[in-house]
Homo-oligomer: A and B are copies of this chain.
Amino acid sequence: MILVIDHEEVRELRLNRPPVNALSPELIVAIRQALEVAPREGAQALVISGAPGRFCAGLDVPLLLTLDQPAIAALWHDFYALLRTIACSPIPIAAAITGHAPAGGTVLPLFCDCRVMAEGDWKIGLSEVQVGLPLPRVIFSALSRQVGSRQAECLAVGGVLVSPPEAVQVGLVDELVAVERGVERAIEWCNGLLELPRHAMALTRQQARADLVRLFDHDLEAELEEVIASWWSDETQSALKALATQLGRRRSG
């Protein structure tokens, strides 16, 4: 589900769960494990990439609708653990957003060090509200840190999806490149950091990301319980089922 490609000191983790890189429980755990293993195996920086046109479709809703309560509870605990692992990574992580990146596909890059997005007819944004999920607090906080309070309110409450140029403008991503250059540019960005005096870079990075790390400092169990309870509410279940039906039609259409 993940292709691991080493570009000298920079390790690329290419999401590889066709057709749209939707996040299954297994993929969520696999990404976290790959991130944790990388520095131990000598990687000095990481790139999370996807397929051309398909970075990551967010949670695999049709699959998740088949899961029972303990499985959904485990899923959300694992997803939060993944976000914490990205936020607290000892080495820099660049997201190479190679295509569509709705909901969870936008969440992962929020916790990375840098976000390069491929130009093209893709959508990115925290569309959780559109599918009936209140945006979890820790994700809203990371969004607000990244784009400021005004844009965060507007994007989150409306569940707004935007184009790559709009994403740069509001600060959801840091730069745009041609689609064939996405991964390459993310690797370059990492190598740029690795050319710097390492200790100075690492200490400055630690300080610059302290507010992001702090989001995971306190017990998130109460927040997780709310998120999980939300999942099973009537409104959310109807919206998720409507989405699954729509995706089914699109795939068979």
How big is the A interface, by class? 35 or more
Determine if A180 is an interface residue (Cβ-Cβ < 8 Å): no
A147 an interface residue at 8 Å Cβ cutoff? Answer: yes
Chain B CB count within 10 A is highest, among A114, A129, A204, A230, for A204
Q: Residue of B at shortest CB range from A196?
A: B129
User: With A148-B148, A150-B145 as given contacts, are A156 and B208 in contact (CB-CB < 8 Å)?
Assistant: yes
Residue A140 contacts which of B92, B131, B208 (CB distance < 8 angstroms)? B208
Interface string of A147-162 (1 = CB under 8 A from B): 1111011101111000
Q: Give chain A interface residues in 54-87, CB to chain B under 8 Å.
A: none
Identical chains bound together, number: 3
Interface residues in A32-52 (C-beta closer than 8 Å to B): none
**Interface residue A113 (Cβ < 8 Å from any Cβ of B):** yes
A165 at the interface (CB under 8 A from B): no
Across-interface contacts of A113 in B (CB, < 8 A): 153, 157
Q: Within 8 Å of chain B (Cβ to Cβ): is A134?
A: yes
Within 8 A of B (CB), among A120-163: 128-135, 137, 140, 144-150, 152-154, 156-159
Q: Which residue of B lies closest to A157 (CB)?
A: B205
Q: Is the Cβ of A129 less than 8 Å from the Cβ of B235?
A: no
- A245 on the interface (CB 8 Å rule)? no
Listed in ascending order, the chain A residues whose CB lies under 8 Å from chain B are 92, 113-114, 128-135, 137, 140, 144-150, 152-154, 156-159, 171, 174, 192-193, 196-201, 203-205, 207-209, 211, 230, 233, 235-236, 238-239
6 interchain pairs, CB-CB under 8 A? A131-B197, A132-B200, A146-B149, A157-B208, A197-B235, A200-B239
Given A140-B207, A150-B171, 11 extra CB contacts under 8 A? A113-B157, A128-B204, A131-B197, A132-B197, A132-B199, A135-B207, A146-B149, A146-B150, A156-B207, A197-B236, A200-B239
